[in-house]
Amino acid sequence: MTKWLEQPLSWENALFFTAMAVVFLLIVLLYVVYAILFERKVLGWMQWRHGPNRLGPWGMFQTVADVLKLLFKEDTIPRKADRALFIIAPALCYAPSFAVLAVIPYTRELYFADLNVAVVYYAALSAISTIAIVLGGWASNNKYSLLGGMRSGAQMISYEVPLVLSIVGTVMMTGSMNLRKIVEAQGDWFWQWNFLPQIIGFGVFLVAAVSELNRSPFDLPEAESELVAGYHTEYSGFRFAFFMLAEYVYMFAIAGLASVLFLGGWRPPAPFLDFIPGIVWMILKMAFVIFFLFWLRATMPRVRIDQLMGFAWKVLLPLAILNVFVTAVGLELFIKG
């Protein structure tokens, strides 16, 4: 992969990157299908039931059938909806979720874009999905959809501030916003990874990430008891599938980002485990973060909207600023010492 990145732009390497993007898209789609199945299984096990177990061995083809059902379902558009915006919103929501995956390094050699401003790239692109969700809610011409879209916009904008600030401490320690350099700056032993010196930032990052994903206990935009289904109430078929696809792809991206920033990326937890390929460690760390998100959904009740917004501005934001201040003081004392 590195060899192709170093070559000048030509039809040959453009074709190579297009092919790699298609292959990676298929891998991500396969991940989404079985992440949904795994989530339903985990929720079943934690709630003392089986989960999907009818279609295929151990229910392995249940989500495949669900996806096929969505693809063949009638695509309805409300008569008084803003047709153009209603159609474009799901695609606008999904496109950034896939684009942000380009800057996440999966091993020392396996990555798509080696940007020096990768952290800014991720934050900027992920914000576009907020606009798409508000757009979809507004274009539906439905009060429940509009309320869900506005809730989601307020929630995601509010939690994006502490999310980005929680990363600043890691960037200060590394001296770079390049994700590969952040991984390489972390030590060979697991206690030298960023999650320990940046424990406050790591905690803020996890909580803010859960809210950014609209996942339980912060799934207020989709509060079924209040808003029917939130911003996607009027969506059906493959357009509804795009919104769901974006949520699970962002979960993949957040798991990769957390692994790279705080958990050592492709590095093993100890030098003597270096014989295991880096991609294996990266997949295991991402799987751990994704399982944590499923675990939260199974165990925590939904919070109220006033508690949600107050927690962002009164708790997470001060903690994120405190983490930046403590990191700056620590670096200054360390450098002087």
Task: Give the mean pLDDT per block of 10 residues along the chain (337 residues).
Answer: 58 79 88 91 88 84 87 86 90 91 89 88 90 90 85 88 93 91 90 92 94 83 64 84 90 94 92 90 94 90 85 94 93 72
- Whole-angstrom distance, CA of residue 180 vs CA of residue 308: 33
Q: Could you tell me the CA-to-CA distances from 201 to 11, 23, 121 in Å, in that order?
A: 43, 34, 19
Number of domains in the chain: 2
Note whether 202 and 262 are same-domain residues. yes
Report the C-alpha dihedral over residues 170, 173, 177, 179, rounded to 10 degrees.
-70
Note whether 62 and 145 are same-domain residues. no
Per-residue pLDDT, 251? 93
Q: Could you tell me the CA-to-CA distances from 3 to 8, 9, 16, 20, 102 in Å, in that order?
A: 10, 12, 12, 14, 16
**Which one of 72, 97, 132 terminates a domain?**
72
Note whether 315 and 206 are same-domain residues. yes
Note whether 41 and 91 are same-domain residues. no
DSSP secondary structure letter of residue 178: -
Phi, psi (deg, nearest 5) at residue 67? -65, -45
Q: Which of 212, 221, 289 is nearest to 256 (CA)?
A: 289
- Whole-angstrom distance, CA of residue 292 vs CA of residue 18: 33
Note whether 4 and 79 are same-domain residues. no
Per-residue pLDDT, 7? 61
Note whether 80 and 24 are same-domain residues. no
Q: Which of 69, 61, 71, 70 is nearest to 40 (CA)?
A: 61
**Which one of 24, 52, 72 terminates a domain?**
72
Burial of 228 (0-12, 13-18, 19+ CB in 10 A): middle
- Whole-angstrom distance, CA of residue 231 vs CA of residue 102: 28
Note whether 244 and 226 are same-domain residues. yes
- 50's tokens: 């089986």
Give the dihedral sign, CA 64/66/69/71. negative
- Whole-angstrom distance, CA of residue 221 vs CA of residue 180: 34
Query: Helix %, strand %, coil % for the chain, to 5?
Result: 75, 0, 25
Collapsed DSSP state (helix, strand, coil) of residue 133: helix
Note whether 111 and 233 are same-domain residues. yes
Q: Are the CB atoms for 182 and 261 separated by under 8 Å?
A: yes
Note whether 228 and 238 are same-domain residues. yes
Nearby residues of 2 by Cβ (< 8 Å), 6 or more positions away = 109
Note whether 188 and 268 are same-domain residues. yes
Domain range for 53 is 1-72
Per-residue pLDDT, 47? 85
Note whether 101 and 44 are same-domain residues. no
**Which one of 72, 97, 118 terminates a domain?**
72
Note whether 255 and 165 are same-domain residues. yes
